[in-house]
Amino acid sequence: MSHEPTTPPGLPDVLGPGLDVLFCGINPGLMSAAKGQHFARPGNRFWPALHLSGFTPRLLTPAEQDELPRYGLGITNLVARPTARADELTAEELRAGGARLTSVARRHRPKVVAVVGVTAYRAAFGRKAAAIGPQDETIASSRLWVLPNPSGLNAHYQLPALAEVFGRLRLEVAQAD
């Protein structure tokens, strides 16, 4: 695991060589920042969706985030600043996060960058019409996907639907190998 210089000390990026997918959250929630663990709030469905989609052989906990690179997975965030809700972020923070994500992708060269949150992706990259799923563009040399936000606050996607979209991404990655 490496630590990016712009990552806050309590919530490091989870990175490793040869990543298949680099998941990019919006920003740390207050609980994630306090624990130093990505997607740490109990109602967050990232870890269950990751497992149910077949990315991991068992359900990992946020405390086990450093195991992700062994499965070819990593995690970063668009914005380092913790907030209670993602809508507290400014457009400027999100655009700067898009530039940072591009830099991280260029340096680590994952096969796919998967931004977790379509609204944040639209703001960070100026893609007002972006939808969930694979995108036509790339980030650095990485293919790009946009996934639903797994926060418990996102009522549009329940766990089965999240796992289905995550599973489509996993199948695309497996077919590309």
pLDDT band of 108, cuts 50, 70, 90:
very high
pLDDT confidence of residue 7? 44
Phi (first) and psi of residue 126, to 5 degrees: 65, 35
Mean pLDDT for the chain overall: 92
**Cα separations (Å) of 76 from 50, 126, 128, 158?**
15, 20, 22, 23
pLDDT confidence of residue 35? 94
User: What is the per-residue pLDDT across 62-78, written as a single tens digit (0 to 9) for each?
Assistant: 999 999 999 999 999 99
User: What is the per-residue pLDDT across 126-153, written as a single tens digit (0 to 9) for each?
Assistant: 999 999 999 999 999 999 999 999 987 7
pLDDT band of 13, cuts 50, 70, 90:
very high
Task: Judge whether 97 and 129 are in contact, CB under 8 Å.
Answer: no
pLDDT confidence of residue 9? 47
The residues near 90 (Cβ < 8 Å, ≥ 6 apart) are none
Beta-strand runs (E) in the chain: 21-25, 73-77, 112-116, 133-139, 142-147
pLDDT confidence of residue 58? 98
Task: Judge whether 127 and 121 are in contact, CB under 8 Å.
Answer: yes
The residues near 169 (Cβ < 8 Å, ≥ 6 apart) are 21, 53, 112, 114, 134, 145, 147
Q: Which helix (H) or strand (E) holds 61?
A: none
Percent of the chain past pLDDT 70, that is, above it, reads 94
Helix 118-125 to helix 91-108 angle (10° resolution) is: 90
pLDDT confidence of residue 6? 46
Is the alpha carbon torsion for 166, 130, 91, 108 positive or negative?
positive
- The structure tokens 């740490």 sit at 40
| Closest alpha carbon to 145 in 176, 27, 87 | 176
Spell out a b/e string for 33-65, using b for 16 or more CB atoms within 10 Å of the CB, else e.
bebbbbbbbeebbbbbbbbbbebbeeebebeeb
